[in-house]
Every structure is written in structure tokens, then in C-alpha cells.
Amino acid sequence: MPIETEGLADRLERVRHRVADAARAAGRDPSEITTIVVTKFHPASLVRELATLGVRDVGENRAQEAAGKAAELTDLDVRWHFIGQLQTNKAKAVRHFASAVHSVDRPGLVAALDGGDRVLDCFLQLALTDDPGRGGVPIPELPALAERVLAAPGLRLRGVMAVAPLGVEPRRAFATVREASESLRALAPDATDISAGMSGDFGDAIAEGATHLRIGTAITGKRPEHA
């Protein structure tokens, strides 16, 4: 699928405006919000185009695909955010290229991500449904998982992450995330970040305090077909 640079620039600009408007409507400073452009399934060349448009944060959800693109693009000044479910045996490969992992959801993964020559930022992914297939830590188990990250010298606890479940009003889901973030801060005062909000719901996420948005299709257009 050919990528039209002009269309991409227009979509990026429109999303930037919408993020700034939503921030101001919520009484927040737009500069405290980081937009991560999700480039999964798109070729490395799209990340390169985004970088020329000033994008500094990109998100990927599959370890092997992301590692390949990052290796191809080492000349770019971009931070790679890993946002997908992560198998323990892929943790080392991910920490090699990623600045942050947003999907930390179990003690075994904390142990596998720790250790390395550079500190890795971590977000604890919250389970907002009972569906174990979607990943995330149940909220009652959040404090114990946070303690694990705080005790890991190679990891820095940034905050929480969540995906609004289907069939739930996003604003309500993000209000739950905000409450979990507040309770986490009692334990880890520096873990103030909230990774929440995608193409369809980032306005609601901003209203509930999101600091990191993960936006794909609203900026990249439709994702290419994948297996």
C-alpha cells in the first residue's frame, strides 16, 4: 500500500490539534501529553516519514516485527514504546531496543525485563475485564506488582496503562484507571504517568488524566493487511 506523505502530515496535524483542544478543555497543559504513534504492521519506511514530520515516540505491539524495524532505523532519533502482550522469552530482545514497555502485567515479566546496561521505563497494564486473553494485572494485584518493579534496579516505574474494553463507555473505564493511578502514587509517588487513549477514545483519556496516548489509525490511516 503506497503511503502518501501529504495525507500522513495532514492526519498528524489534525490529531495534534485535537489533542491540544482536548487538553485545554480539560484544563490541562497540552505539553504534558505525549502522543505515541502506533506503527504496528506498517513498514519501517512509515516510521522514517513520521520522524521527518517531527514524531519522536512510536509504538509497536509485536516483539519480532518491532525489533526488525528498530534495527533498520538506528539512525533515527525516536523512542520505541512496546505496547503489546509480551512473552517472557522475548523480554530481552524487547529491552534491547525499547525505551519503555507499557504492558508489564506479571512478576515473571518484571524479572525477565530487569538487568541490562540502561534503565527501562515500565507501565503496569491494568486488566479492566475478566478476560485473561487481553493481558493486564487485576487491580487488586497492582500494589504487589508495583513493589516488584520498584525493587528492580534496571526498571523505572512510570505509572499505569490500560486499553478501554469493548462495550464499556471509555470515560468510565478511564476513570477507573485514574483511581488506580492515584492509589499507585501512594506507594510510588514518582509513578505519575497514565498510558491510555487510542484513535477512538483519546479525548476521554485526556479528560481522565492520560499523559501518554497510543494513537495508530487516526494518524497512519488503515493498517496494512496482516496474517
Ligand X SMILES: *Cc1c(COP(=O)(O)O)cnc(C)c1O
Strand partners, 157: 122
C-beta of 108 vs 200, nearer to ligand X: 200
Site for ligand X in 2-61 (CB under 6 A): 38, 40, 61
Query: Which lies closer to ligand X via its Cβ, residue 154 or residue 218?
Result: 218
Residues forming beta bridges with residue 215, ordered by sequence position: 37
Give me the least distance between CB of 147 and ligand X, in Å please: 24
* Contacts (Cβ under 8 Å, ≥6 apart) of 97: 66, 67, 70, 71, 80
**Residue 97, all three cell numbers:** 531496543
CA dihedral 170, 171, 177, 178 (to 10 degrees): 160
188 C-beta neighbours (distance < 10 Å), count: 17
Smallest gap from Cβ 5 to ligand X, in A, equals 19
Nearest to 161 by CA among 140, 144, 179, 136: 136
Stretch that binds ligand X, among 26-34, 144-152, 180-188, 210-218 (CB under 6 A): 210-218
First to last CA, the chain: 15
Residue 139 CA: distances (Å) to CA of 161, 186, 188, 192, 212: 12, 14, 15, 16, 20
In the range 112-141, which residues lie near ligand X by CB under 6 A? none
Distance CA 79, CA 227 (A): 26
Q: Show the binding pattern over residues 75-104: x = contacts ligand X (CB under 6 A), - = does not.
A: --------xx--------------------
Per CB under 6 A, 203 contacts ligand X = no
* Of residues 103 and 181, the one with the C-beta less far from ligand X: 103
Question: Between residues 84 and 170, which has the closer beta carbon with respect to ligand X?
Answer: 84
Residue closer to ligand X by CB (options 27, 226) is: 226
Instruction: From 74-82, 173-181, 184-192, 195-203, give the range in contact with ligand X by CB under 6 A.
Output: 195-203
Closer residue to ligand X, CB minimum distance, 28 or 134: 134
The grid coordinates of residue 94 equal: 524487547
Give yes or no for a contact between 3 and 197, defined as CB atoms under 8 angstroms apart: no
x-or-dash string of contact with ligand X, 159-188, rule CB under 6 A: ----x-------------------------
| Interacting residue ranges for ligand X, rule: CB under 6 A | 38, 40, 61, 83-84, 163, 198-200, 214-218
